[in-house]
Amino acid sequence: MRPRTRTVLTLLNGTTGTGLLLAFLTGARIRRGRDGLLIAEGYRLRMPPASCFTVGSVILTRRTADWLLAEERAALLAHESRHASQYAVLGPLFWPAYWFACGWSYSLTRSFGVRNFFERHAGLRDGGYPEELPLRPWVTRLKRR
Ligand SMILES: [Zn+2]
């Protein structure tokens, strides 16, 4: 998806506004990223436990924007950028769909990411997830039947 299209869509569907509101409410500072992405640095809440997460075109991080924009973090930034594109397509439907995918993945593997469609699409390795995990015993039993 073209960055400009993504910026416009996430603005129109309200998800970037939600990300900015969340940044404002948690005292994070907004910095300009790349490709129309905004980075909210200094996010303070403990949830979610990831080093950064995306809401619309806003990437919220406990670290600084410079940390996320550093060359070593290019893969992580690309991962979060793909989440922003998912928000552009789904709008607020992203949330229920994402939480459903988390539940699905967790019930199969005890990981919220490994079997989560959105995380797989954004790139498991880039997002710091293991690329595969053994299925839970009940799933394996079910598959054998
Ligand atoms: Zn992710």
- How is 114-134 classified by DSSP, letter by letter? TT-HHHHHH-TTTTT--S--P
How far away, in angstroms, is 144 Cα from ligand 1 center?
31
Higher model confidence: residue 51 or residue 81? 81
- The Cα 81–Cα 122 span in angstroms is 8
| Token output for 88 | 């552009």
Is residue 115 scored above 90 in pLDDT? yes
Task: Give 142 Cα–ligand 1 centroid separation in angstroms.
Answer: 28
Between the CA of 69 and the centroid of ligand 1 the distance, in Å, is: 16
In DSSP terms, which residues pair with 53 in a beta bridge? 60
What's the pLDDT at 39?
A: 98
Give pLDDT, residue 49.
79
Contact yes or no for 44/62 (Cβ under 8 A)? yes
Each residue of 126-144: pLDDT tens digit?
Answer: 999 999 999 999 989 998 8
Does position 97 have pLDDT exceeding 90, yes or no?
yes
pLDDT in tens, 6-62: 999 999 999 999 999 999 999 999 999 999 999 999 998 888 878 899 999 999 999
Does the model's pTM come out above 0.85? Answer: yes
Res 141: pLDDT = 92
- Mean per-residue pLDDT, 55-76: 97
Neighbours of ion ligand 1 (CB under 5 A): 119, 122, 127
For residue 127, how far is its CA from the centre of ligand 1 (angstroms)?
5
Mean pLDDT score, 1-6: 95
Q: In what order do the strands lie in the sheet with 38-41?
A: 29-32, 38-41, 58-61, 52-55
